[in-house]
Amino acid sequence: MSVQDLTVRRGHTLALDDVSLETPAGRITAVVGGDGAGKTTLLEALVGLVEPASGTVDTPDRAQIGYMPSGAGSWYDLTVDENIGFVGGSYGVRDLAQRADELLTRADLMHARDRLVGRLSGGMRQKLGFCLAMLHQPELLILDEPSTGVDPVSRVELWRLISETAAAGTAVVMSTTYLDEAERAGWVLVLERGKNLLSGSPDEVVASCPGEVVETDAPVHTELSWRSGEHYREWWPDGAPDGQVPAVLTLEDVSIVASLREGLTS
Amino acid sequence: MRAMILKEFRELRRDRRTMGMLIAMPILLLIVFGYAANFNVDNIPTATLGAQAEQAATLLAEVPKAPFDVTEVDSTGTADDAEEMLQRNEVDVAIVTGGDPVVAYIDGSSLFSAQTAVAAFNRLGDRVQTQVLFNPDLKTSWVMVPAIIGLILTFIGTIITSIGMVKEKQTGTIEQLAVMPIKPSTVILGKIAPYFLLASLDMVLVTVLGMLLFDVPFNGSVAVFALGAGLFLFVVLGLGVFISTISQNVGQAIQTAFFFLLPQILLSGIIFPLEAIPWAVRWISYFLPLTYFTMVSQGVMLRGAPLDSLWFPLLMLTVMAIIVFTGAVLRFRRNLAPGDGRHTKTKAAA
C-alpha cells in the first residue's frame, strides 16, 4: 500500500495536504494526530470513501481490504453471529464457520455469539469490528481509532490481535490519538491540520528531534515547555544551556516539539 | 433560567427542520382547513341519456342551486350506458330519461357527490327515481378502506423505509457497506426489497381484512389493483429513500417524512372530496401519489373499473415512480460511492 502526495479537500477545507505513506506487508503503521488532524480522511481515502483532489492512492483490490470504521462498523440489531454471517457472505468467505470460530476465540467473543451487538460493551464491539474486518483475511487492514473509548484491558487485547495479524503478513494502517499506542507500531505518521508533521519508525522519529529537550521544575520559556508527570519538559531549539538534565524522549515529546516548531516557523 | 431559554432558542434557530415545522405547518394547516376543509360538493359531473336527454339537461340547468354540472347529453344512451359511464368514472350521476319515472344512476364510490345528489333528487319528489350503484348504502367504510390501504402503504413506504435506510448512516455501517465488494445497486435493491415485500404483505392483509370486517367488495381485476399498488409502492419507497438521503438520523427522518405525509392525508381526496377543494389548493392534490392510488383502489374495488378507464392515474403513478424512485436511488448511491474516483485514482496494487 502506498500513498503519494495525497491532497484531499472537504468543501473549502484542505483536509489532507500533500501526504505520503507506504506500508509493506507485515508492518503496522500508526497514523497519529489530534481531532481534525486528517487521520480519518487519510483512511477513508485508502478505502475509496473520499476522492483525492490530487496524488495517488495505491491499494490492493477492494476485496483484499479490511476496514473498521470509527463506529466499529457492526449492525446493532443483529447478533454477533448474524453480523459475521452477513459480512462473511458478502465477501464470499470460504469455511466461514471455521474462520468465525478462530477469530471469535482469539477475540474472546465465543460466549457472546448469540448476543445482539447493541448490547455488547464498547470493547467487545470494537473487537467484533476487528473480527469483521479480518474475516476475509485481507492483505491490507485499515482500522480507524480501534481503541478509542475502550477500557485498558480491551485495549491490550485489541493490540494483541493487531500484532498477531501483522505478524501473519497483513499490512495494517491504524489511526489513534494515543501516542503511547503509536510507539508499538513499526511506522508512525504524525498529522497536524492535514499536514505530515513527522514520519518514520518510532525510534527514527524520536532520534530526529531537533534541538534539546530537558527535564526541569522551573522552565525558562513557558511557551516552549509542557508538563510531564511531576516535572516540566522544555524544548531548547538551539541546544540547552549547561547544567540542564536531558529528558528521555517519547513520541509524545517529539510530537509536541514538532508542533511547536511548526508554530515558530509559521 | 435566562441562559436555558437563550440556549433553547439558539438550538431551535439552527434546527431548520423544526423551524420549518413551526412556520410551515401552521400555514399549511390554516390554508388546508380554511379552503379545502369542505364536504359540500356543488358541481357534480352529470350525464343525461335517453329520448328526453336534452330536456332533462335544460331542466337541471334551470333548477336553482342544483349541484349538477351536465357534461354529457346523449339521446340514444341507455341504462347500460349510464352504468358504464359511472363505472369508468366519466360522470358521477347519469340520468336516464324516456321511462316513467326517470332514473338517476348515482356513483356511490364518490361518497359526498352521491350523498349530495341523493338529497337533491329527493327534493324533486317521485319524478326521479334514484339508484345508487357500487355503494348502495353509501357506507363511508366502503370508500375509506381502499383509501386507507394507500395511506398504510404511504406510511410504510416513507417512514419505515426512511428509518431503515437512515439507520445505516446513523450507526456508521453505511461506510462499511460502501467499502465491501458489493455493487451499490445490490446494496440499494437489498435494502429496499424487504420493505417492498412487507408493504405488499401489509396491503394484502389490510385489503382482505377490510373486505371481511366491513364487507367492502372487490369488484374489479386483482391484476389492475396490483399494478396500481406496485407503481404506488415504488413512488412511496422512493420517497422513503429520498428522505433518508437528506436526513442524518432517525429523528430527522421521521420529521421529514411527516412533511410528506400530512399533505397526502389532507389533500389526496381521502378525507375531503377533491371536487370540494377549490382550485387554489386542489392543484397540490394532483402532485400527490396517494391521490392517484385512491382513484385506482376505489375504482377497482368498488366500481370494478377496467384498466383502460384508469389510464390517467396509472400513467401519473408510472411517471412519479420513475422520477422519484430513480432520483432517490441515484442520491442514495452517491452516499455509497462518493465519486467515481475510487476506481480511477485508487489503483490496484500489482
DSSP characters for B264-292? HHHHSSSSS-GGGS-HHHHHHHTT-HHHH
Mean residue pLDDT across chain B: 88
Alpha carbons A38 and A58: distance in angstroms, whole number: 18
Alpha carbons A148 and A155: distance in angstroms, whole number: 9
pLDDT of residue B95: 93
Per-residue pLDDT tens digits for A96-108: 999 999 999 999 9
pLDDT of residue A16: 94
CB contacts of A74 in chain B (<8 Å) are: 173, 176
A194: pLDDT strictly greater than 50: yes
pLDDT category of residue A187 using cuts at 50, 70 and 90: very high
Whether A126 contacts A147, CB under 8 Å: yes
Per-residue pLDDT tens digits for A46-78: 998 888 999 999 999 989 999 999 887 899 999
Looking only at the bridges linking them, the beta strands covering A65-68 and A140-144 are parallel
Alpha carbons B338 and A211: distance in angstroms, whole number: 44
B333: pLDDT strictly greater than 80: yes
Cell 517519547, residue?
A250
B341: pLDDT strictly greater than 70: no
Q: Is A33 helix (H, G, I), strand (E, B) or coil?
A: coil
Q: Is A62 helix (H, G, I), strand (E, B) or coil?
A: helix
Inspect the interface and report whether the beta carbons of A52 and B181 lie closer than 8 Å.
no
The residue of B175, B177, B248, B343 whose CB has the most chain A CBs within 10 angstroms, and thus the best one to mutate to test that interface, is B175
B88: pLDDT strictly greater than 80: yes
B14: pLDDT strictly greater than 90: no
Whether B166 contacts B249, CB under 8 Å: yes
Inspect the interface and report whether the beta carbons of B347 and A57 lie closer than 8 Å.
yes
Alpha carbons A165 and A130: distance in angstroms, whole number: 10
Q: Is A173 helix (H, G, I), strand (E, B) or coil?
A: strand
B298: pLDDT strictly greater than 90: yes
CB contacts of A76 in chain B (<8 Å) are: 171
- How many Cβ atoms are within 10 Å of A224's Cβ, its own excluded? 20
Q: What percent of chain B has pLDDT over 70?
A: 96
- Among B141-145, B214-218, B258-262, which stretch is predicted with the lowest mean pLDDT? B258-262
- Residue A51 has its nearest CB partner, among B179, B182, B339, at B339
Per-residue pLDDT tens digits for B18-50: 888 888 888 878 877 787 777 878 889 999 999
Query: What's the rounded mean pLDDT across residues B175-197?
Result: 89
pLDDT of residue B337: 66
- Sheet containing A231-236: which strands, arranged edge to edge? A225-228, A231-236, A212-216, A245-246
pLDDT of residue A112: 96
pLDDT category of residue B96 using cuts at 50, 70 and 90: very high
Alpha carbons A79 and B328: distance in angstroms, whole number: 30
Whether B161 contacts B193, CB under 8 Å: no
pLDDT category of residue B342 using cuts at 50, 70 and 90: very low
- Among B134-143, B195-204, B332-341, which stretch is predicted with the lowest mean pLDDT? B332-341
CB contacts of B349 in chain A (<8 Å) are: 1, 58-61, 139
CATH fold label, A2-202: Rossmann fold (3.40.50)
- Sign, CA dihedral A66-A69-A70-A74, equals negative
Cis peptide before B313 (omega within 30 of 0): no
Q: What percent of chain A has pLDDT over 70?
A: 100
**What are the Cα distances from residue A177, in Å, to A36, A69, B9, B232?**
11, 15, 35, 50
Whether B91 contacts B309, CB under 8 Å: no
- CB distance from B250 to chain A under 8 Å? no
Inspect the interface and report whether the beta carbons of A72 and B172 lie closer than 8 Å.
yes
A239: pLDDT strictly greater than 90: no
- CB distance from B180 to chain A under 8 Å? yes
B340: pLDDT strictly greater than 60: no
Query: What's the rounded mean pLDDT across residues B285-295?
Result: 95
Whether A128 contacts A72, CB under 8 Å: yes
Inspect the interface and report whether the beta carbons of B179 and A74 lie closer than 8 Å.
no
- Sign, CA dihedral A71-A76-A80-A85, equals negative
pLDDT category of residue B346 using cuts at 50, 70 and 90: very low
- Listed in order, the ranges of chain A carrying CATH 3.40.50.300 are 2-202
pLDDT category of residue B238 using cuts at 50, 70 and 90: very high
Whether A18 contacts A199, CB under 8 Å: no
pLDDT category of residue B338 using cuts at 50, 70 and 90: low
pLDDT of residue A200: 94
B339: pLDDT strictly greater than 50: no
Phi-psi group of B28: left, alpha or beta (phi > 0 → left; psi -120 to 50 → alpha; rest → beta): alpha
Secondary structure E strands in chain B: 44-49, 68-74, 93-96, 102-107, 128-133, 346-348
Query: What's the rounded mean pLDDT across residues A223-243?
Result: 91
Inspect the interface and report whether the beta carbons of B348 and A60 lie closer than 8 Å.
yes
Alpha carbons A31 and A42: distance in angstroms, whole number: 9
Mean residue pLDDT across chain A: 92
CB contacts of B347 in chain A (<8 Å) are: 56-59
B234: pLDDT strictly greater than 80: yes
- Residue A73 has its nearest CB partner, among B176, B339, B342, at B176
Domains of chain B: 44-133 (3.40.190), 140-338 (no CATH)
